[in-house]
Structure 1
Protein backbone atom coordinates (compact mmCIF):
# COMPACT_ATOMS: atom_id res chain seq x y z
CA UNK A 1 0.00 0.00 0.00
CA UNK A 2 1.38 3.35 -0.96
CA UNK A 3 1.62 5.66 2.01
CA UNK A 4 0.80 9.30 1.43
CA UNK A 5 1.20 12.46 3.50
CA UNK A 6 -0.80 15.63 3.07
CA UNK A 7 -0.39 19.20 4.25
CA UNK A 8 -3.32 21.42 3.48
CA UNK A 9 -3.32 25.16 4.18
CA UNK A 10 -6.59 27.02 4.16
CA UNK A 11 -7.01 30.79 4.36
CA UNK A 12 -8.50 32.37 7.44
CA UNK A 13 -12.16 33.19 7.28
CA UNK A 14 -11.48 36.88 6.87
CA UNK A 15 -8.99 36.60 4.03
CA UNK A 16 -6.02 34.87 2.43
CA UNK A 17 -2.47 34.70 3.77
CA UNK A 18 -1.19 38.22 4.45
CA UNK A 19 2.47 38.89 3.85
CA UNK A 20 2.47 42.72 3.91
CA UNK A 21 0.54 44.85 6.36
CA UNK A 22 -0.29 48.51 5.80
CA UNK A 23 0.12 50.59 8.96
CA UNK A 24 -0.16 54.33 9.57
CA UNK A 25 3.11 56.03 8.72
CA UNK A 26 4.79 57.67 11.72
CA UNK A 27 7.74 59.79 10.79
CA UNK A 28 10.94 58.72 12.49
CA UNK A 29 9.41 55.73 14.29
CA UNK A 30 9.18 52.01 13.48
CA UNK A 31 6.08 50.08 14.45
CA UNK A 32 6.99 46.47 15.43
CA UNK A 33 4.49 43.72 14.67
CA UNK A 34 3.64 41.56 17.73
CA UNK A 35 4.50 37.88 17.30
CA UNK A 36 0.88 36.92 18.00
CA UNK A 37 -0.18 39.11 15.07
CA UNK A 38 2.37 37.44 12.78
CA UNK A 39 1.04 34.00 13.73
CA UNK A 40 -2.52 35.11 13.15
CA UNK A 41 -1.70 36.25 9.63
CA UNK A 42 -0.40 32.81 8.57
CA UNK A 43 -2.64 30.17 7.05
CA UNK A 44 -4.26 27.65 9.37
CA UNK A 45 -2.40 24.40 10.01
CA UNK A 46 -4.23 21.33 8.80
CA UNK A 47 -1.65 18.54 8.75
CA UNK A 48 -2.24 14.83 8.20
CA UNK A 49 0.42 12.12 8.19
CA UNK A 50 0.42 8.33 8.04
CA UNK A 51 3.54 6.52 9.15
CA UNK A 52 4.99 5.02 12.32
CA UNK A 53 6.05 6.37 15.68
CA UNK A 54 6.40 5.61 19.39
CA UNK A 55 4.42 7.08 22.28
CA UNK A 56 5.79 6.56 25.80
CA UNK A 57 3.91 7.58 28.97
CA UNK A 58 5.43 6.86 32.38
CA UNK A 59 6.10 3.20 33.09
CA UNK A 60 3.45 1.93 30.67
CA UNK A 61 4.57 -0.15 27.66
CA UNK A 62 5.39 2.03 24.65
CA UNK A 63 2.61 2.28 22.07
CA UNK A 64 2.89 2.48 18.29
CA UNK A 65 1.41 5.54 16.56
CA UNK A 66 0.22 5.03 12.97
CA UNK A 67 -1.61 8.25 12.07
CA UNK A 68 -1.37 11.87 13.23
CA UNK A 69 -3.39 15.03 12.57
CA UNK A 70 -2.48 18.57 13.67
CA UNK A 71 -5.19 21.21 13.32
CA UNK A 72 -5.09 24.86 14.43
CA UNK A 73 -8.14 26.77 15.60
CA UNK A 74 -8.84 30.42 16.50
CA UNK A 75 -6.67 32.08 19.18
CA UNK A 76 -3.73 29.85 18.17
CA UNK A 77 -5.29 26.78 19.80
CA UNK A 78 -4.11 23.47 18.33
CA UNK A 79 -5.57 19.96 18.45
CA UNK A 80 -3.32 16.93 17.94
CA UNK A 81 -4.89 13.50 17.29
CA UNK A 82 -2.87 10.30 17.56
CA UNK A 83 -4.21 7.03 16.11
CA UNK A 84 -2.59 4.07 17.89
CA UNK A 85 -1.90 0.64 16.41
CA UNK A 86 -4.56 -0.90 18.67
CA UNK A 87 -7.18 1.42 17.12
CA UNK A 88 -7.50 3.80 20.06
CA UNK A 89 -7.39 7.57 19.49
CA UNK A 90 -5.72 10.13 21.75
CA UNK A 91 -6.54 13.83 21.53
CA UNK A 92 -4.20 16.51 22.86
CA UNK A 93 -4.71 20.25 23.15
CA UNK A 94 -2.02 22.90 22.89
CA UNK A 95 -1.05 26.46 22.05
CA UNK A 96 0.86 27.46 18.89
CA UNK A 97 3.82 29.48 20.19
CA UNK A 98 6.05 29.83 17.10
CA UNK A 99 6.05 28.94 13.43
CA UNK A 100 8.32 29.15 10.38
CA UNK A 101 7.91 27.96 6.79
CA UNK A 102 9.04 24.45 7.79
CA UNK A 103 8.43 24.06 11.52
CA UNK A 104 5.91 24.83 14.26
CA UNK A 105 6.30 24.75 18.05
CA UNK A 106 3.29 23.78 20.18
CA UNK A 107 2.97 24.08 23.96
CA UNK A 108 0.91 21.19 25.39
CA UNK A 109 -1.92 22.13 27.77
CA UNK A 110 -4.14 19.06 28.12
CA UNK A 111 -4.85 15.52 26.94
CA UNK A 112 -8.54 14.81 27.23
CA UNK A 113 -9.44 15.23 30.90
CA UNK A 114 -5.78 15.02 31.97
CA UNK A 115 -3.33 17.85 32.48
CA UNK A 116 -0.36 17.93 30.09
CA UNK A 117 2.81 20.00 29.77
CA UNK A 118 5.70 20.05 27.34
CA UNK A 119 6.67 21.16 23.86
CA UNK A 120 5.91 19.48 20.54
CA UNK A 121 7.76 20.18 17.29
CA UNK A 122 5.93 19.70 13.99
CA UNK A 123 8.12 19.65 10.87
CA UNK A 124 6.91 19.93 7.29
CA UNK A 125 8.60 20.57 3.95
CA UNK A 126 7.38 21.29 0.44
CA UNK A 127 3.73 20.90 1.48
CA UNK A 128 4.35 17.52 3.15
CA UNK A 129 4.29 16.58 6.83
CA UNK A 130 7.62 15.16 8.00
CA UNK A 131 7.52 14.49 11.74
CA UNK A 132 6.02 15.15 15.15
CA UNK A 133 8.30 14.95 18.19
CA UNK A 134 8.42 16.22 21.75
CA UNK A 135 8.39 15.47 25.45
CA UNK A 136 6.72 16.63 28.64
CA UNK A 137 4.33 15.23 31.26
CA UNK A 138 0.83 13.76 31.30
CA UNK A 139 -0.84 13.89 34.74
CA UNK A 140 2.66 14.11 36.21
CA UNK A 141 4.02 11.11 34.27
CA UNK A 142 6.91 11.53 31.77
CA UNK A 143 5.67 11.75 28.18
CA UNK A 144 7.53 11.43 24.87
CA UNK A 145 6.43 11.13 21.23
CA UNK A 146 8.44 10.53 18.06
CA UNK A 147 6.48 10.06 14.83
CA UNK A 148 7.69 10.15 11.22
CA UNK A 149 5.69 9.88 8.01
CA UNK A 150 5.91 6.70 5.97
CA UNK A 151 6.87 8.53 2.73
CA UNK A 152 10.63 8.66 3.18
CA UNK A 153 11.34 10.34 -0.16
CA UNK A 154 10.72 13.82 1.23
CA UNK A 155 12.54 15.53 4.02
CA UNK A 156 14.28 12.61 5.73
CA UNK A 157 16.58 9.69 4.96
CA UNK A 158 15.16 6.19 4.46
CA UNK A 159 14.24 3.91 7.33
CA UNK A 160 17.33 2.00 8.54
CA UNK A 161 17.78 -1.50 7.15
CA UNK A 162 19.70 -4.50 8.49
CA UNK A 163 23.45 -3.82 8.68
CA UNK A 164 25.72 -6.80 7.98
CA UNK A 165 29.52 -6.52 8.17
CA UNK A 166 31.88 -9.41 7.46
CA UNK A 167 35.65 -9.74 7.14
CA UNK A 168 38.40 -12.32 7.11
CA UNK A 169 41.48 -11.33 9.07
CA UNK A 170 43.58 -12.09 12.11
CA UNK A 171 42.89 -11.71 15.79
CA UNK A 172 42.97 -13.21 19.26
CA UNK A 173 40.21 -14.35 21.62
CA UNK A 174 41.16 -14.75 25.25
CA UNK A 175 39.17 -16.23 28.16
CA UNK A 176 40.57 -16.48 31.68
CA UNK A 177 41.62 -20.01 32.53
CA UNK A 178 42.02 -21.05 28.87
CA UNK A 179 44.71 -20.65 26.24
CA UNK A 180 44.29 -17.76 23.81
CA UNK A 181 42.85 -18.76 20.43
CA UNK A 182 43.36 -17.21 17.01
CA UNK A 183 40.46 -15.60 15.12
CA UNK A 184 40.23 -15.98 11.33
CA UNK A 185 36.86 -14.39 10.52
CA UNK A 186 34.35 -12.00 12.11
CA UNK A 187 30.84 -10.74 11.36
CA UNK A 188 28.49 -8.14 12.84
CA UNK A 189 24.73 -7.91 12.24
CA UNK A 190 22.57 -5.03 13.50
CA UNK A 191 18.78 -5.11 13.14
CA UNK A 192 16.61 -1.96 12.64
CA UNK A 193 15.63 -2.15 16.35
CA UNK A 194 19.38 -1.97 17.24
CA UNK A 195 19.56 -5.59 18.47
CA UNK A 196 22.91 -6.97 17.33
CA UNK A 197 25.06 -10.07 17.04
CA UNK A 198 28.87 -10.29 16.98
CA UNK A 199 30.30 -13.58 15.76
CA UNK A 200 33.94 -14.72 15.60
CA UNK A 201 35.33 -17.85 13.94
CA UNK A 202 38.28 -19.45 15.68
CA UNK A 203 41.16 -21.12 13.89
CA UNK A 204 39.89 -24.55 15.02
CA UNK A 205 36.62 -23.92 13.13
CA UNK A 206 34.40 -23.20 16.15
CA UNK A 207 32.24 -20.07 16.25
CA UNK A 208 31.49 -17.89 19.27
CA UNK A 209 28.46 -15.61 18.95
CA UNK A 210 27.60 -12.71 21.24
CA UNK A 211 24.21 -10.98 21.38
CA UNK A 212 23.74 -7.39 22.43
CA UNK A 213 22.41 -3.94 21.62
CA UNK A 214 23.84 -1.21 19.40
CA UNK A 215 24.39 1.90 21.52
CA UNK A 216 26.11 4.13 18.96
CA UNK A 217 26.57 4.28 15.21
CA UNK A 218 28.47 6.70 12.99
CA UNK A 219 29.64 6.48 9.39
CA UNK A 220 32.87 4.88 10.61
CA UNK A 221 32.21 2.90 13.78
CA UNK A 222 29.60 0.96 15.74
CA UNK A 223 29.50 0.38 19.50
CA UNK A 224 27.70 -2.64 20.93
CA UNK A 225 26.75 -3.48 24.50
CA UNK A 226 27.16 -7.26 24.76
CA UNK A 227 24.61 -9.08 26.95
CA UNK A 228 24.86 -12.81 26.25
CA UNK A 229 26.64 -15.61 24.40
CA UNK A 230 24.37 -18.57 23.77
CA UNK A 231 23.04 -19.60 27.19
CA UNK A 232 25.83 -17.78 29.00
CA UNK A 233 25.74 -14.26 30.40
CA UNK A 234 28.09 -11.72 28.88
CA UNK A 235 28.89 -8.13 29.75
CA UNK A 236 31.07 -5.56 28.07
CA UNK A 237 31.35 -3.17 25.13
CA UNK A 238 32.47 -4.00 21.60
CA UNK A 239 33.91 -1.29 19.34
CA UNK A 240 33.76 -2.04 15.60
CA UNK A 241 35.37 0.16 12.96
CA UNK A 242 34.14 -0.53 9.46
CA UNK A 243 34.97 0.54 5.92
CA UNK A 244 33.84 0.19 2.30
CA UNK A 245 32.00 -2.87 0.99
CA UNK A 246 30.70 -4.03 4.41
CA UNK A 247 34.27 -4.58 5.59
CA UNK A 248 35.39 -4.74 9.22
CA UNK A 249 38.60 -2.82 9.93
CA UNK A 250 38.99 -3.63 13.64
CA UNK A 251 37.07 -5.12 16.56
CA UNK A 252 38.05 -4.41 20.16
CA UNK A 253 36.09 -5.83 23.07
CA UNK A 254 36.59 -6.89 26.66
CA UNK A 255 34.31 -7.85 29.54
CA UNK A 256 33.08 -10.97 31.28
CA UNK A 257 31.66 -14.26 29.96
CA UNK A 258 29.81 -16.19 32.69
CA UNK A 259 31.81 -14.16 35.18
CA UNK A 260 35.19 -14.90 33.57
CA UNK A 261 37.16 -12.03 31.97
CA UNK A 262 37.51 -12.19 28.18
CA UNK A 263 38.87 -10.04 25.36
CA UNK A 264 38.67 -9.84 21.55
CA UNK A 265 41.21 -8.10 19.32
CA UNK A 266 40.68 -8.45 15.56
CA UNK A 267 42.05 -6.73 12.45
CA UNK A 268 40.46 -7.27 9.05
CA UNK A 269 42.46 -7.80 5.91
CA UNK A 270 43.37 -4.53 4.19
CA UNK A 271 40.50 -3.43 1.95
CA UNK A 272 41.19 -2.63 -1.67
CA UNK A 273 41.85 1.06 -2.13
CA UNK A 274 39.15 3.11 -3.78
CA UNK A 275 39.80 4.18 -7.36
CA UNK A 276 41.11 7.72 -7.72
CA UNK A 277 38.61 10.49 -8.36
CA UNK A 278 38.62 11.37 -12.05
CA UNK A 279 37.51 14.69 -13.48
CA UNK A 280 34.16 14.67 -15.28
CA UNK A 281 34.07 14.43 -19.05
CA UNK A 282 33.46 17.61 -21.00
CA UNK A 283 29.82 18.63 -20.75
CA UNK A 284 29.13 16.27 -17.81
CA UNK A 285 27.12 17.50 -14.82
CA UNK A 286 28.34 17.10 -11.24
CA UNK A 287 26.70 18.37 -8.06
CA UNK A 288 28.82 19.15 -5.00
CA UNK A 289 28.28 20.12 -1.40
CA UNK A 290 29.19 19.27 2.17
CA UNK A 291 27.37 17.58 5.07
CA UNK A 292 27.40 19.12 8.53
CA UNK A 293 29.89 16.51 9.79
CA UNK A 294 32.53 17.56 7.23
CA UNK A 295 32.04 14.88 4.55
CA UNK A 296 32.22 16.52 1.11
CA UNK A 297 30.22 14.90 -1.66
CA UNK A 298 30.28 14.87 -5.44
CA UNK A 299 27.15 13.44 -7.13
CA UNK A 300 27.69 12.44 -10.76
CA UNK A 301 25.19 12.27 -13.62
CA UNK A 302 25.09 9.95 -16.65
CA UNK A 303 22.32 10.14 -19.24
CA UNK A 304 20.31 12.54 -17.06
CA UNK A 305 20.37 10.13 -14.11
CA UNK A 306 22.45 10.24 -10.94
CA UNK A 307 24.68 7.19 -10.73
CA UNK A 308 26.98 7.64 -7.74
CA UNK A 309 28.21 9.91 -4.96
CA UNK A 310 31.92 10.24 -4.18
CA UNK A 311 32.74 11.13 -0.57
CA UNK A 312 35.87 12.75 0.85
CA UNK A 313 36.86 14.08 4.26
CA UNK A 314 40.22 15.08 5.70
CA UNK A 315 41.79 12.18 7.60
CA UNK A 316 39.31 9.60 6.31
CA UNK A 317 39.44 7.12 3.43
CA UNK A 318 37.44 8.27 0.36
CA UNK A 319 34.45 6.12 -0.54
CA UNK A 320 31.86 5.79 -3.30
CA UNK A 321 28.09 5.25 -2.92
CA UNK A 322 26.27 3.69 -5.87
CA UNK A 323 22.80 5.13 -6.48
CA UNK A 324 19.66 3.44 -7.79
CA UNK A 325 16.49 5.20 -8.90
CA UNK A 326 13.69 4.74 -6.34
CA UNK A 327 10.71 6.79 -7.57
CA UNK A 328 9.46 10.33 -8.15
CA UNK A 329 8.18 12.15 -5.07
CA UNK A 330 4.93 14.13 -4.85
CA UNK A 331 6.62 17.12 -6.52
CA UNK A 332 7.73 15.02 -9.52
CA UNK A 333 11.38 15.08 -8.43
CA UNK A 334 13.38 11.86 -8.96
CA UNK A 335 14.54 10.21 -5.73
CA UNK A 336 17.60 7.94 -5.64
CA UNK A 337 18.71 5.61 -2.86
CA UNK A 338 22.05 4.22 -1.81
CA UNK A 339 24.23 3.69 1.25
CA UNK A 340 27.41 5.06 2.77
CA UNK A 341 29.88 2.19 3.15
CA UNK A 342 26.97 -0.24 2.81
CA UNK A 343 25.83 0.48 6.36
CA UNK A 344 24.25 3.95 6.49
CA UNK A 345 21.21 4.63 4.31
CA UNK A 346 21.11 7.74 2.13
CA UNK A 347 18.81 9.42 -0.37
CA UNK A 348 19.35 11.96 -3.17
CA UNK A 349 16.48 14.13 -4.44
CA UNK A 350 16.99 15.68 -7.90
CA UNK A 351 15.41 19.11 -7.40
CA UNK A 352 15.66 19.85 -11.13
CA UNK A 353 12.72 17.50 -11.75
CA UNK A 354 14.74 15.06 -13.84
CA UNK A 355 16.81 17.49 -15.91
CA UNK A 356 20.05 18.00 -13.94
CA UNK A 357 22.10 20.85 -15.42
CA UNK A 358 24.50 23.60 -14.36
CA UNK A 359 22.66 25.83 -11.91
CA UNK A 360 20.20 23.19 -10.65
CA UNK A 361 20.38 21.63 -7.17
CA UNK A 362 20.15 18.35 -5.31
CA UNK A 363 19.15 17.52 -1.74
CA UNK A 364 21.15 14.73 -0.10
CA UNK A 365 20.11 13.12 3.19
CA UNK A 366 22.09 10.56 5.17
CA UNK A 367 20.71 8.60 8.10
CA UNK A 368 21.66 10.37 11.37
CA UNK A 369 23.58 13.11 9.47
CA UNK A 370 20.64 15.20 8.28
CA UNK A 371 20.27 16.94 4.91
CA UNK A 372 22.44 19.14 2.68
CA UNK A 373 21.70 21.15 -0.45
CA UNK A 374 24.22 20.69 -3.28
CA UNK A 375 24.80 22.85 -6.38
CA UNK A 376 25.29 21.46 -9.87
CA UNK A 377 27.76 22.69 -12.49
Structure 2
Protein backbone atom coordinates (compact mmCIF):
# COMPACT_ATOMS: atom_id res chain seq x y z
CA UNK A 1 0.00 0.00 0.00
CA UNK A 2 1.45 3.33 -1.06
CA UNK A 3 1.89 6.00 1.52
CA UNK A 4 0.62 9.45 0.70
CA UNK A 5 3.35 12.05 0.62
CA UNK A 6 2.20 14.92 2.73
CA UNK A 7 4.53 17.62 1.44
CA UNK A 8 5.37 16.96 -2.25
CA UNK A 9 6.43 20.55 -2.92
CA UNK A 10 9.36 20.32 -0.51
CA UNK A 11 10.68 17.28 -2.28
CA UNK A 12 10.47 18.94 -5.70
CA UNK A 13 12.12 22.06 -4.36
CA UNK A 14 14.90 20.04 -2.76
CA UNK A 15 15.46 18.12 -5.95
CA UNK A 16 15.64 21.25 -8.04
CA UNK A 17 18.44 22.57 -5.89
CA UNK A 18 20.53 19.57 -6.89
CA UNK A 19 19.83 19.72 -10.61
CA UNK A 20 22.74 21.09 -12.63
CA UNK A 21 22.14 24.29 -14.60
CA UNK A 22 19.18 25.31 -12.47
CA UNK A 23 19.61 28.86 -11.12
CA UNK A 24 16.68 29.29 -8.80
CA UNK A 25 17.69 32.74 -7.62
CA UNK A 26 17.97 33.98 -11.17
CA UNK A 27 14.63 32.45 -12.09
CA UNK A 28 12.94 34.04 -9.12
CA UNK A 29 14.46 37.41 -9.91
CA UNK A 30 13.36 37.17 -13.52
CA UNK A 31 9.84 36.37 -12.38
CA UNK A 32 9.53 39.07 -9.77
CA UNK A 33 11.65 41.71 -11.57
CA UNK A 34 11.13 41.52 -15.32
CA UNK A 35 13.93 43.15 -17.36
CA UNK A 36 13.44 46.84 -17.98
CA UNK A 37 12.89 47.91 -21.54
CA UNK A 38 15.81 49.85 -23.00
CA UNK A 39 15.00 53.49 -23.50
CA UNK A 40 16.61 55.16 -26.49
CA UNK A 41 16.92 58.94 -26.30
CA UNK A 42 17.25 60.65 -29.63
CA UNK A 43 19.99 63.25 -29.80
CA UNK A 44 18.72 66.42 -31.45
CA UNK A 45 20.36 67.35 -34.70
CA UNK A 46 22.08 70.58 -33.78
CA UNK A 47 22.92 71.21 -37.39
CA UNK A 48 19.22 71.66 -38.09
CA UNK A 49 18.37 73.50 -34.85
CA UNK A 50 18.95 77.28 -35.05
CA UNK A 51 21.13 78.69 -32.30
CA UNK A 52 19.60 81.47 -30.22
CA UNK A 53 21.79 84.55 -30.03
CA UNK A 54 21.71 86.57 -26.80
CA UNK A 55 20.90 90.14 -27.85
CA UNK A 56 20.31 91.35 -24.31
CA UNK A 57 23.67 93.15 -24.29
CA UNK A 58 25.57 95.34 -26.73
CA UNK A 59 29.37 95.29 -26.58
CA UNK A 60 31.33 97.51 -28.96
CA UNK A 61 34.96 98.57 -29.05
CA UNK A 62 36.55 100.76 -31.71
CA UNK A 63 39.92 102.42 -32.24
CA UNK A 64 40.04 105.85 -33.81
CA UNK A 65 40.63 109.52 -33.14
CA UNK A 66 38.87 112.02 -30.96
CA UNK A 67 39.28 114.74 -28.36
CA UNK A 68 38.52 114.78 -24.63
CA UNK A 69 38.33 118.23 -23.05
CA UNK A 70 38.05 118.98 -19.33
CA UNK A 71 37.71 122.45 -17.88
CA UNK A 72 41.03 124.04 -16.82
CA UNK A 73 43.05 121.24 -18.44
CA UNK A 74 44.63 120.72 -21.83
CA UNK A 75 42.69 118.70 -24.38
CA UNK A 76 43.80 115.07 -24.73
CA UNK A 77 43.52 112.88 -27.80
CA UNK A 78 41.18 109.86 -27.65
CA UNK A 79 42.58 106.68 -29.25
CA UNK A 80 39.75 104.18 -28.58
CA UNK A 81 36.27 103.93 -27.08
CA UNK A 82 34.17 101.03 -25.83
CA UNK A 83 30.44 100.86 -25.17
CA UNK A 84 28.55 98.20 -23.21
CA UNK A 85 24.78 98.23 -22.74
CA UNK A 86 23.10 95.78 -20.36
CA UNK A 87 19.58 94.43 -20.67
CA UNK A 88 18.40 96.78 -17.89
CA UNK A 89 19.07 99.80 -20.17
CA UNK A 90 22.20 100.89 -18.34
CA UNK A 91 25.46 101.50 -20.14
CA UNK A 92 29.17 101.79 -19.48
CA UNK A 93 31.40 103.89 -21.72
CA UNK A 94 35.19 103.78 -21.52
CA UNK A 95 37.43 106.15 -23.47
CA UNK A 96 41.15 105.45 -23.83
CA UNK A 97 43.38 108.52 -24.01
CA UNK A 98 46.70 108.94 -25.80
CA UNK A 99 48.52 109.20 -22.45
CA UNK A 100 47.25 105.66 -21.58
CA UNK A 101 44.66 106.91 -19.09
CA UNK A 102 41.08 105.67 -19.30
CA UNK A 103 37.89 107.52 -18.40
CA UNK A 104 34.81 105.54 -17.44
CA UNK A 105 31.24 106.85 -17.62
CA UNK A 106 27.96 105.16 -16.72
CA UNK A 107 24.32 106.06 -17.10
CA UNK A 108 20.86 105.17 -18.33
CA UNK A 109 20.21 104.64 -22.02
CA UNK A 110 17.46 105.09 -24.55
CA UNK A 111 17.71 104.04 -28.18
CA UNK A 112 16.46 105.98 -31.17
CA UNK A 113 17.02 104.16 -34.49
CA UNK A 114 20.82 103.76 -34.85
CA UNK A 115 21.64 106.20 -32.03
CA UNK A 116 21.89 105.41 -28.33
CA UNK A 117 21.64 108.30 -25.88
CA UNK A 118 23.14 107.87 -22.40
CA UNK A 119 22.03 110.13 -19.55
CA UNK A 120 25.13 110.14 -17.36
CA UNK A 121 24.93 109.31 -13.67
CA UNK A 122 28.56 108.87 -12.64
CA UNK A 123 32.18 108.50 -13.72
CA UNK A 124 33.70 105.83 -11.53
CA UNK A 125 33.45 107.18 -7.97
CA UNK A 126 32.98 110.76 -9.21
CA UNK A 127 29.73 112.54 -9.94
CA UNK A 128 28.86 113.12 -13.59
CA UNK A 129 25.89 114.49 -15.47
CA UNK A 130 25.15 115.27 -19.08
CA UNK A 131 24.53 113.26 -22.23
CA UNK A 132 26.58 111.12 -24.60
CA UNK A 133 25.19 110.06 -27.95
CA UNK A 134 26.64 107.01 -29.70
CA UNK A 135 26.08 105.83 -33.25
CA UNK A 136 27.28 102.48 -34.56
CA UNK A 137 27.25 100.37 -37.70
CA UNK A 138 28.46 96.81 -38.38
CA UNK A 139 29.49 96.33 -34.72
CA UNK A 140 31.74 99.41 -34.84
CA UNK A 141 31.28 102.77 -33.13
CA UNK A 142 31.07 105.43 -35.82
CA UNK A 143 30.52 108.40 -33.52
CA UNK A 144 30.52 109.26 -29.80
CA UNK A 145 29.95 112.84 -28.74
CA UNK A 146 28.49 114.79 -25.87
CA UNK A 147 29.29 116.97 -22.91
CA UNK A 148 28.40 117.46 -19.29
CA UNK A 149 29.84 118.10 -15.87
CA UNK A 150 32.42 115.85 -14.20
CA UNK A 151 33.00 116.61 -10.52
CA UNK A 152 31.73 120.18 -11.08
CA UNK A 153 34.01 120.69 -14.11
CA UNK A 154 32.66 120.94 -17.65
CA UNK A 155 33.85 118.30 -20.11
CA UNK A 156 33.23 117.36 -23.72
CA UNK A 157 33.88 114.24 -25.81
CA UNK A 158 34.10 114.10 -29.60
CA UNK A 159 35.09 110.83 -31.26
CA UNK A 160 34.71 109.54 -34.81
CA UNK A 161 32.59 111.20 -37.45
CA UNK A 162 28.94 112.14 -37.19
CA UNK A 163 27.33 110.81 -40.36
CA UNK A 164 24.87 113.72 -40.17
CA UNK A 165 27.62 116.34 -39.86
CA UNK A 166 27.12 117.60 -43.41
CA UNK A 167 23.37 117.77 -43.95
CA UNK A 168 23.76 119.08 -47.51
CA UNK A 169 25.30 115.74 -48.53
CA UNK A 170 23.65 113.21 -46.23
CA UNK A 171 20.31 114.54 -45.04
CA UNK A 172 17.78 117.24 -45.90
CA UNK A 173 18.99 120.65 -44.78
CA UNK A 174 16.25 120.94 -42.19
CA UNK A 175 17.35 117.75 -40.39
CA UNK A 176 19.12 118.46 -37.10
CA UNK A 177 20.32 115.40 -35.22
CA UNK A 178 21.39 116.50 -31.77
CA UNK A 179 21.45 119.55 -29.50
CA UNK A 180 22.67 119.82 -25.93
CA UNK A 181 23.57 122.58 -23.55
CA UNK A 182 24.72 123.19 -20.00
CA UNK A 183 23.04 126.17 -18.38
CA UNK A 184 20.42 127.30 -15.91
CA UNK A 185 16.71 126.99 -15.72
CA UNK A 186 13.61 126.18 -13.71
CA UNK A 187 11.32 123.17 -13.95
CA UNK A 188 7.90 123.72 -12.36
CA UNK A 189 5.34 120.97 -11.82
CA UNK A 190 2.08 121.57 -9.96
CA UNK A 191 2.12 120.02 -6.51
CA UNK A 192 5.93 119.94 -6.32
CA UNK A 193 8.65 122.40 -5.42
CA UNK A 194 10.47 124.16 -8.26
CA UNK A 195 13.63 122.36 -9.42
CA UNK A 196 16.80 123.84 -10.93
CA UNK A 197 17.77 122.64 -14.41
CA UNK A 198 21.46 121.96 -15.13
CA UNK A 199 21.38 120.81 -18.76
CA UNK A 200 19.05 119.96 -21.63
CA UNK A 201 19.29 117.69 -24.66
CA UNK A 202 17.19 117.40 -27.84
CA UNK A 203 17.53 114.57 -30.37
CA UNK A 204 15.51 114.59 -33.62
CA UNK A 205 15.36 111.66 -36.04
CA UNK A 206 14.62 111.50 -39.76
CA UNK A 207 10.86 111.23 -39.15
CA UNK A 208 10.89 114.49 -37.13
CA UNK A 209 10.31 112.56 -33.90
CA UNK A 210 12.00 114.33 -31.00
CA UNK A 211 13.46 113.08 -27.73
CA UNK A 212 14.06 115.71 -25.05
CA UNK A 213 16.05 115.23 -21.85
CA UNK A 214 15.82 117.69 -18.94
CA UNK A 215 18.51 117.14 -16.28
CA UNK A 216 17.86 118.61 -12.84
CA UNK A 217 20.48 119.49 -10.28
CA UNK A 218 19.10 116.84 -7.91
CA UNK A 219 20.15 114.18 -10.49
CA UNK A 220 16.56 113.62 -11.67
CA UNK A 221 16.06 113.41 -15.44
CA UNK A 222 12.74 114.10 -17.16
CA UNK A 223 12.43 112.65 -20.65
CA UNK A 224 9.84 113.84 -23.15
CA UNK A 225 8.91 112.74 -26.65
CA UNK A 226 7.18 114.74 -29.32
CA UNK A 227 6.87 115.70 -32.97
CA UNK A 228 8.51 118.65 -34.71
CA UNK A 229 5.78 121.02 -35.91
CA UNK A 230 8.01 123.88 -37.14
CA UNK A 231 11.67 124.46 -37.84
CA UNK A 232 13.66 127.31 -39.35
CA UNK A 233 17.21 128.61 -39.17
CA UNK A 234 16.89 129.64 -35.53
CA UNK A 235 13.97 127.88 -33.83
CA UNK A 236 12.30 124.48 -33.49
CA UNK A 237 8.77 123.91 -32.18
CA UNK A 238 7.90 120.48 -30.77
CA UNK A 239 4.43 119.22 -29.88
CA UNK A 240 4.89 117.00 -26.82
CA UNK A 241 3.20 113.58 -26.82
CA UNK A 242 4.58 111.62 -23.86
CA UNK A 243 7.02 111.52 -20.96
CA UNK A 244 8.31 108.02 -20.32
CA UNK A 245 5.26 105.94 -19.35
CA UNK A 246 3.26 109.07 -18.50
CA UNK A 247 1.02 111.17 -20.71
CA UNK A 248 2.28 114.60 -21.73
CA UNK A 249 0.98 117.40 -23.91
CA UNK A 250 2.08 120.92 -24.65
CA UNK A 251 4.47 122.97 -26.76
CA UNK A 252 8.25 123.15 -26.49
CA UNK A 253 10.14 125.96 -28.22
CA UNK A 254 13.87 125.70 -28.84
CA UNK A 255 16.18 128.51 -29.97
CA UNK A 256 19.54 127.19 -31.15
CA UNK A 257 22.88 128.63 -32.16
CA UNK A 258 26.27 127.62 -33.52
CA UNK A 259 27.71 124.13 -32.93
CA UNK A 260 24.30 122.69 -32.01
CA UNK A 261 24.12 124.85 -28.90
CA UNK A 262 20.81 125.73 -27.24
CA UNK A 263 20.32 129.41 -26.48
CA UNK A 264 16.87 129.08 -24.93
CA UNK A 265 14.35 126.31 -24.30
CA UNK A 266 10.82 126.94 -23.08
CA UNK A 267 7.92 124.54 -22.65
CA UNK A 268 4.53 124.44 -20.99
CA UNK A 269 1.74 121.90 -20.90
CA UNK A 270 0.49 119.02 -18.78
CA UNK A 271 2.37 116.04 -17.42
CA UNK A 272 0.02 113.26 -16.28
CA UNK A 273 -2.69 115.90 -15.95
CA UNK A 274 -0.53 118.28 -13.87
CA UNK A 275 0.51 121.66 -15.38
CA UNK A 276 4.25 122.09 -15.87
CA UNK A 277 6.60 124.83 -17.06
CA UNK A 278 10.19 124.72 -18.31
CA UNK A 279 12.36 127.83 -18.74
CA UNK A 280 16.03 127.29 -19.63
CA UNK A 281 18.91 129.34 -21.07
CA UNK A 282 22.63 128.79 -21.44
| Greater gyration radius | 2
> Same fold by TM-score, threshold 0.5 exceeded?
no
Q: TM-score, normalised by structure 2?
A: 0.39
Question: Which structure's residues are more often helix, by fraction?
Answer: 2
Q: TM-score, normalised by structure 1?
A: 0.29
